[in-house]
A and B are shown apart, each in its own frame.
Chain A
Amino acid sequence: MAKSFPVMHFDAVIVGAGGAGMRASLQLAEAGLSVAVLSKVFPTRSHTVAAQGGIGASLGNMSEDSWLWHMYDTIKGSDWLGDQDAIEYMCKTAADVVYELEHFGMPFDRNDDGTLYQRPFGGHSANFGQKPVQRACAVADRTGHALLHTLYQRNVRARTQFLVEWMALDLIRDADGDVVGVTALEMETGEAMILHAKATILATGGAGRIFAASTNAFINTGDGLGMVARAGLPLEDMEMWQFHPTGVAGAGILITEAVRGEGGILLNANGERFMERYAPNLKDLASRDVVSRSMDQEIKEGRGCGPHKDYVLLKLDHLGPDVIIKRLPSIREISIKFANADPIKEPIPVVPTIHYMMGGIPTNVHGQVVAPKDGDPNSVVPGLFAVGECACVSVHGANRLGTNSLLDLIVFGRATGNFIVSENLKAAPHKPLPGDAAEASRARLARIDNATSGESVSAVADTLRKTLQAHCGVFRNQGLLSEGGPRAARDAHLDQRSQQDVQHRARRGARAR
């Protein structure tokens, strides 16, 4: 293999074509910057496509609402651990970015007066926690699909350049610590390249696949986090993982909270609506951490359903076929296919399932990645940005409210795009690449290429996933965590172990990733 890789130059390189990456790329492409968006899958296959329930904004189309109430709910939901300035910005901007999506052509559900329909969602309330409010703008239960396709379409219009089925490998940092691009692998040919950029934006999404049971797609492996960690930069709040109360038992596939928003309820083995006991005000619409813990408690105390008493039931037949078919068509499809249950007639077996990573790459509200330096805890890393689930602004603190992630993608994708546009990159020269820009990636690829023995990657990954599942569950305690930490580190020690299998993934055959 050659000592370095061929080089391509761009004003900006975005790694990731989910909602966050494509919202940012749109700002850049429309402003005339040369921007390349890399994705290891075709853009509309990114996991944003699977988001179901909705995107939150206090439009007040159904009843009075205010961004202050949305802000209050978000701060409270975060267990008071979110960044309140960032939350204020997000909730204040929400209406504008949702209207913008509508103008882009997103096919939102409508009210009789032609305005956007909004549904209730967990943790969203009117008047500072008094009663549930309808704040989630939705496209049936396919909101993420509609959002992602609309953004892709808008990017087609803006002639954004996509590098499809390209896998980013490493960040390139120069002697000053500035980020000047990434190395990447074109998966079809196996050719590695340097993408030299004035701004590098990570939008690689979540990492839910580090757990054994997950609502996430196979591709959600946290690549961006790895790139940042390998570049010697810190990550934030990595212990803060959200369990979604309703994953299909055994399959992990998500059943949106919108089911409870539309009136669905959770029942234990005695047929009791147990959330009335745990959260008398918001009941089944309490925030996700509360509902997940309550379900786990019910199961622990022997009130779970089924032969192993290991799940609870989500009942929605009382909503009637009309509501289910009109507002929750995909949920019905999923339930029939993956749980053998038609929710028009029978309840869906559900368990709390790993869903969302609140932590990630620390950024400010402009999407600039920050790291401690010379006594400044929030010193900007020049050239590097992060948006979406891989980033930690942090607007979600210790627990994200439903509908606030899609909002996060769009608000901060746009803000980051605007900030980069304001930096006037077109006129600025590229910072030169360091001489060893490709070295880390080259050495790793060479090692993998030349390895002839070792453990299988799928076996190592399975062990790691099982460890996380067992030690970092809904309830965590000192004992479990301090045992699990070192164990995961040992499991994950791919450096000494990887073999051919990796080669197949990383080189020509990497299409299947």
Chain B
Amino acid sequence: MKFRIYRYDPEKDAKPYYRDYDIELDPHDRMLLDALIRLKTVDDSLSFRRSCREGVCGSDAMNINGTNGLACVTNLKTLKEPVELRPLPGLPVIRDLIVDMTQFFKQYHSIKPYLINDTPPPEKERLQSPAERERLDGLYECILCACCSTACPSFWWNPDKFVGPAGLLAAYRFIADSRDQALNARLDNLDDPYRLFRCHTIMNCVDVCPKGLNPTAAIGKIKDIMVKRAI
């Protein structure tokens, strides 16, 4: 199978380049990650992140034939050859397919991604009805892979000011939690021309999320609450 892979080692290379590979795969190689691991036995300088190989850890997000996705759950049969692999767009490249995710996590941290409830907890669990709990579905499952934010033009232009789809999804996850008491502070934190309102509903984020989550919908809900609060 043929691959065309973005290569860059800042210690050696003046600038990034593409390298072509043609490699015979094993019949057991099902996913793109299997192929990458096989490629690494041939060219061990090829660098990428990976861990769980089942789509839950968020390590191996990359740009695959022009679309962001996880290598470990991308079936080789679905890919057009040569398979072109690039690092996630818009973030600084550390080496090959590995990007510096500092800015992405900074935005995630900026929304206070933890439950805020200052009343002393009861001896047992805080009660939550199944319906209240269900509101968190489609929100808490995010694996912080950054496929969405690095597919979002607004995030490319303003990674330091726009929270981005992943961070906003997380913000709504806490806004929607019946146990959280910081609604106003959370909204104040986002009430800014950039942090929330740079989202222009382009939906790239929804198209690429490997967990099938919908950041655009979550962003829409935050905007609704914000508007309601204003009147």
- State whether A104 touches B115 (Cβ < 8 A): yes
From A59, A115, A217, A512, residue with most partner B Cβ within 10 Å: A512
Inter-chain contacts of A250 with B (CB < 8 A): 28
A217: which of B51, B73, B128 is its contact (CB, 8 Å)? Answer: B51
B179: which of A49, A105, A504 is its contact (CB, 8 Å)? Answer: A105
Within 8 A of A (CB), among B117-137: 117, 121, 123-130, 132-133, 136
- State whether A50 touches B56 (Cβ < 8 A): yes
B205 to chain A: closest CB distance in Å? 19
Within 8 A of A (CB), among B49-85: 49-59, 73, 75
Q: Which residue of A lies closest to B11 (CB)?
A: A508
Binds B, one of A152-160, A305-313, A473-481: A152-160
- State whether A253 touches B130 (Cβ < 8 A): no
Binds A, one of B17-25, B40-48, B154-162: B40-48
Interface residue range, chain A: 35 or more
A-B contact count (CB 8 A): 145
- Docked pose: A253 CA to B130 CA in angstroms: 30
Inter-chain contacts of A338 with B (CB < 8 A): 30, 54
Q: Which residue of B lies closest to A503 (CB)?
A: B44
Inter-chain contacts of B127 with A (CB < 8 A): 113-115
- State whether A45 touches B58 (Cβ < 8 A): yes
Within 8 A of A (CB), among B81-131: 94-95, 98, 101, 105, 109, 112-115, 117, 121, 123-130
B131 to chain A: closest CB distance in Å? 9
Q: A115-B127, A142-B141, A508-B95 are in contact. Are A217 and B44 (CB under 8 A)?
A: no
- State whether B73 touches A42 (Cβ < 8 A): no
- Docked pose: A456 CA to B45 CA in angstroms: 13
- State whether B114 touches A105 (Cβ < 8 A): yes
Q: A217-B53, A512-B40 are in contact. Are A45 and B59 (CB under 8 A)?
A: yes
- State whether B73 touches A337 (Cβ < 8 A): yes
A49: which of B44, B46, B48, B52 is its contact (CB, 8 Å)? Answer: B52
A44 interfacial contact with B, CB 8 Å: yes
- State whether A109 touches B94 (Cβ < 8 A): no
- State whether A107 touches B140 (Cβ < 8 A): yes
Interface residue range, chain B: 35 or more
- State whether A153 touches B54 (Cβ < 8 A): no
B144 interfacial contact with A, CB 8 Å: yes
- Docked pose: A334 CA to B72 CA in angstroms: 11
- Docked pose: A396 CA to B69 CA in angstroms: 38
Within 8 A of B (CB), among A40-93: 41-42, 44-47, 49-50, 59
Q: A44-B143, A105-B179, A458-B44 are in contact. Are A511 and B95 (CB under 8 A)?
A: yes
- State whether A253 touches B136 (Cβ < 8 A): no
- Docked pose: A135 CA to B179 CA in angstroms: 24
- Docked pose: A338 CA to B34 CA in angstroms: 12
Within 8 A of B (CB), among A485-513: 500-501, 504-505, 508-509, 511-512
- A→B interface (CB under 8 Å): 41-42, 44-47, 49-50, 59, 99, 102-105, 107-116, 139, 142, 145-146, 149, 153-154, 156-157, 188, 217-219, 250-251, 253, 330, 333-334, 337-338, 456, 458-459, 500-501, 504-505, 508-509, 511-512
Per CB-CB distance, the 3 closest pairs between chain A and chain B, nearest first, are A105-B115, A114-B127, A153-B114
Could you show 20 A-B contacts with beta carbons less than 8 Å apart? A42-B101, A42-B144, A49-B57, A99-B125, A102-B125, A103-B126, A105-B174, A107-B136, A110-B128, A114-B125, A116-B125, A156-B113, A217-B52, A500-B44, A501-B44, A504-B45, A509-B9, A509-B95, A511-B49, A511-B95
